[in-house]
Amino acid sequence: MGVLGIGQWNSWNRVHFARVAVERLHDRASGDNAAIVVRMTDNGFEPNAVTVPAGTAVRFSNEDGVAHWPASAPHPVHTDYPEFDAKRGIAPGESYSFVFDKVGTWKFHDHLNCCSNPKWFGTVAVQ
Ligand SMILES: [Cu+2]
């Protein structure tokens, strides 16, 4: 039918919310007060679009096997929001946090894997 049974949905939900809880615990443990986590995995940025209030830290967490470099549009100059630029590749297991103070919709990309694959693009909407 293409529609998830309630059992499957509950199971997905449990896994999803457990993961969010673990990320929040990790933030507290590491002293990083990021409220929002964007994971960098083999699937690209997950999620690839987030909406946050101004003043929110977003943590780009590298859970992939190779380095990634989040930076604002446009490639290669990153002038839309120059401060939003990791300025280096973030190694596997490391993360880059940035506090978004400027209201707007900020496109970003992985500077090291730009720009043929859509999975390495995303947006942060700051309200
Ligand atoms: Cu770039």
Residues 86 and 60 in one domain: yes
Residues 54 and 75 in one domain: yes
Report the alpha-carbon distance of residue 20 to residue 13 in Å, rounded.
11
**What is the Å distance from ligand 1's center to 114 Cα?**
6
Report the alpha-carbon distance of residue 38 to residue 76 in Å, rounded.
21
Residue-level pLDDT at 2? 47
- Domain span at residue 94 reads 33-126
Residues 83 and 105 in one domain: yes
Residues 44 and 94 in one domain: yes
Closest by Cα among 49, 33, 53, 58 to 119: 49
**What is the Å distance from ligand 1's center to 88 Cα?**
11
Sign, CA dihedral 108-45-27-87, equals negative
Residue-level pLDDT at 33? 53
**What is the Å distance from ligand 1's center to 104 Cα?**
19
pTM: 0.74
Indicate the pairing of strand 49-52 with strand 121-126. parallel
Residue-level pLDDT at 53? 96
Residues 18 and 47 in one domain: no
50 and 38 Cβ atoms separated by less than 8 Å: yes
Residues 57 and 17 in one domain: no
45 and 38 Cβ atoms separated by less than 8 Å: yes
Cβ partners under 8 Å of residue 29, min gap 6:
none
Give 10-residue mean pLDDT values along the chain (127 residues). Answer: 47 43 46 77 98 97 98 98 98 98 98 94 98
Residues 12 and 63 in one domain: no
**What is the Å distance from ligand 1's center to 117 Cα?**
13
Residues 11 and 61 in one domain: no
**What is the Å distance from ligand 1's center to 116 Cα?**
12
Residues 111 and 56 in one domain: yes
